[in-house]
Amino acid sequence: MSIVNTLSLESNRQIKINFDGGDLSSDAGLLLIKEFVSKPGIDNLLGKVFKTNDSALFRYHTDQKNLLQMIYMIIAGYFEDDTSDELTNDPVFKSVLEKDTLASQPTVSRFFNRMDEDTLNQLLMIGRILRKRVYRIQMPQAVILDLDSTLLDAYGKQEGRAFNFHYQSNGYHPLVCYNGMTGDLVKIQLRDETEYSSTGVVDFLQPILDEYLNDYPAIRILLRGDSGFATPDLYKQCEENGT
């Protein structure tokens, strides 16, 4: 039995049949995500505001593209950075990132290792800028800041990993703040698993209150949290900030 590598139809020589498979992808939905990212200018914003502590004069895989690659990968369900090696020639990922190839796993790991406290502050600033763009379209009358803590499972011997009796699990216990009206994440801060729910909440919350009081003085600020956040210091902070 002969194997057909390429077959041209006699009725139309422009049509060819083969078994190469072509450039296939199961992640075509990312093209719509790309459209959403471009509308408020998130991709351009990352290029202007986001920069790791990098001494290299030139990189083909820039910080902006590396961050966008990880965002698209997570949205598509690829949570491990080593999956970037499998996606390096995926046509949809190359299209949304506007690159010939994706950054490899070692490149992504080096990218993560360059992140520091300044990088995290840049990400918080990006969130603040995006909130301004959204509020220009429609300014809310009130915002509900939902305080909470959650479990991030960790495996191995990562720094700060510990056992939490409440969750009966090893990992981290970060502080989180969501916009209770929209579900958007406003801020998150990593802590080790032994920290109590409200530990460090006053310092965590103050920059958020400063942003809303300075940028949107007309918005009424409401704070919501469970009993783990019922502390005198937090009550005092709310009173001092009109919250």
Same domain, 107 and 175: no
Residue 120 is assigned to a structural domain of this protein: no
Residue from 1, 2, 3 nearest 20 by CA: 3
What does the pLDDT read at residue 1?
Answer: 42
Contact predicate 43/109, CB 8 Å: no
Same domain, 101 and 159: no
Q: How does the average pLDDT of the chain come out, rounded?
A: 90
Q: How confident is the model at residue 2 (pLDDT cuts 50, 70, 90)?
A: low
Token digits of residue 169:
């699990």
pLDDT digits (tens, 9 = 90+) for 153-183: 888 788 778 777 777 788 888 999 999 999 9
Residue 219 is assigned to a structural domain of this protein: yes
Same domain, 105 and 202: no
Residue 80 is assigned to a structural domain of this protein: yes
Residue 132 is assigned to a structural domain of this protein: no
- Placement of tokens 């080593």 in the chain: 82
What does the pLDDT read at residue 3?
Answer: 59
- Domain range for residue 171? 139-240
pLDDT digits (tens, 9 = 90+) for 55-99: 888 888 999 999 999 999 999 999 988 899 989 889 999 999 999
Same domain, 234 and 152: yes
CA 12 to chain centre: 49
The total domain count for the chain is 2
Residue 224 is assigned to a structural domain of this protein: yes
Q: Is the pLDDT of residue 233 over 90?
A: yes
- pTM of structure: 0.79
Edge-first strand listing for the sheet containing 142-149? 185-189, 175-179, 142-149, 220-224
